[in-house]
Amino acid sequence: MLVAEQLTKRYGSKTALQEATFTLEKGITGLLGPNGAGKTTLLRILATYHKASGGRLLLNGVEWTSANMEKLRADIGYLPQHIGLFPSLTVTEYLDYIASMRGMNSSSINKRMNEVLREVNLEEVGREKVRSLSGGMKQRLGIAQAIIHEPALLLVDEPTAGLDPEERIRFRNLIKRLGHSRAVLLSTHITEDVSVTCDRVLLMNKGWLQSHDHVREVVAYAAGSVWGLQTEQGKYEQLRSDPSVFITDLKEQQEGLYHIRVVAASKPSEDAQPLQPTLEEGYMVWLNRK
C-alpha cells in the first residue's frame, strides 16, 4: 500500500531522517523511538506537510509529487501531536468545517457524519461544544477529523499521552478497529500501546529507521538477557549504578528487600532467574546497541 524508499529529511545541516526504507500494509504499525528520533518528521512528510529532501514515496502507486498532492491528501488522515480543535464550535460543526475544507460536498458530509461519530463513540455529544469535552473525547474527535474522508492511510502522533488508563484502553480499541480497513501508523513512546495494538513495528533512533515484520522480532532482542532476582539494599544500589544493567521493574517486598527485573547481558547474580522479555525490554536492547 505505502512504499518508502531511501526517504531523507534535512533541516539545514541537521539530518532528521536518514534513508528510511519500509512498506506499510493494511493493519497497525507502531513507530517507536526516543525524543528527537525523527518520528514526527516522518509523519509530517507522509501527511504531505513537509517535503522530503530525498527518496521516494508511493501510496497505492501514486507518487508524492506536487501534481498528486490533492489526490494523496484525499487518501491520508493525520492526527498530529497537538491538534487545534475549535473550542467554541459544536462537535458536528467542527467536523462539518473540516470535511468542507477537505472538499467534501454537503450530501456526503451528512451521510458520513453519524457514521464517523459512531465510529469514535461520540454520537451522544454531537451537539456539545468542543470545549466541554474531556481529554479522551478530544482525542477521539481528533481521530474523527482524520477519518471523516475515509482515508486509506491514517497517521497518528502520540495519541495516548496524557490520557487516563480507561481512555487509553478505549483509544487503543478504536485504533484497532480502524486498522481493520486501512493502514495505520501509530507513533508513540509507550511500548505497551504498541504491544497491545500493533503487529508490525518501525523502530527509530537518531533519524535511522529499522522495520520489523512482527512485534516479536523486537521482543527477541532481549532474549536471554532478562532476569528476575531478590536483592537487599546494597546489591540493589550496586546494580543501579552499573551502566550495563537496566532495572525495568522494582517491587519493594519489605523494607530493604526488593524484587527486581533487570536487562543484563550476563547473569547479574547466582540466584537470578531467566525471564521472558517484554517489548519494552527488546526495544531498550535495540536502542542501546546502536
Ligand X SMILES: Nc1ncnc2c1ncn2[C@@H]1O[C@H](COP(=O)(O)OP(=O)(O)OP(=O)(O)O)[C@@H](O)[C@H]1O
Q: Which residue has the cell 477529523?
A: 145
3-state secondary structure of 196: helix
Taking the C-alpha atoms of residue 228 and residue 247, their distance in angstroms, rounded to an integer, is: 10
Min dist CB 16 to ligand X, Å, is 3
Member of 6, 11, 62, 177 binding ligand X (CB under 6 A) = 11
The nearer residue to ligand X, 84 or 234, going by C-beta atoms, is: 84
Min dist CB 283 to ligand X, Å, is 14
Taking the C-alpha atoms of residue 48 and residue 64, their distance in angstroms, rounded to an integer, is: 8
Min dist CB 66 to ligand X, Å, is 20
The nearer residue to ligand X, 37 or 262, going by C-beta atoms, is: 37
The nearer residue to ligand X, 147 or 190, going by C-beta atoms, is: 190
| Residue 145 touches ligand X, criterion: CB under 6 A | no
| Residue 66 touches ligand X, criterion: CB under 6 A | no
The nearer residue to ligand X, 41 or 195, going by C-beta atoms, is: 41
Q: Count other C-beta atoms under 10 Å from residue 178's C-beta.
A: 20
Min dist CB 108 to ligand X, Å, is 33
Whether 250 contacts 195, CB under 8 Å: no
Min dist CB 42 to ligand X, Å, is 7
Stretch that binds ligand X, among 9-17, 113-121, 211-219, 259-267 (CB under 6 A): 9-17
Between 165-178 and 135-147, two packed helices, what is the crossing angle to 10 degrees?
A: 10
| Residue 80 touches ligand X, criterion: CB under 6 A | no
| Residue 159 touches ligand X, criterion: CB under 6 A | no
Taking the C-alpha atoms of residue 287 and residue 290, their distance in angstroms, rounded to an integer, is: 6
Taking the C-alpha atoms of residue 158 and residue 75, their distance in angstroms, rounded to an integer, is: 21
Cell numbers placing 158: 502520540
Q: Which helix or strand (DSSP H or E) is residue 107 part of?
A: helix 106-119
What radius of gyration, in Å, describes the C-alpha atoms of the chain? 22
The nearer residue to ligand X, 37 or 185, going by C-beta atoms, is: 37
The nearer residue to ligand X, 18 or 145, going by C-beta atoms, is: 18
Within 85-114, the residues that bind ligand X by CB under 6 A are none
Question: Identity (one letter) of the amino acid at 226?
Answer: V
Binding mask 15-54 for ligand X (x = CB under 6 A): -x----------------x-xxxxxxx-------------
Distance of CA 53 to the CA centre of its chain: 23
Whether 140 contacts 126, CB under 8 Å: no
Question: Identity (one letter) of the amino acid at 253?
Answer: Q
The nearer residue to ligand X, 13 or 254, going by C-beta atoms, is: 13
Min dist CB 158 to ligand X, Å, is 7
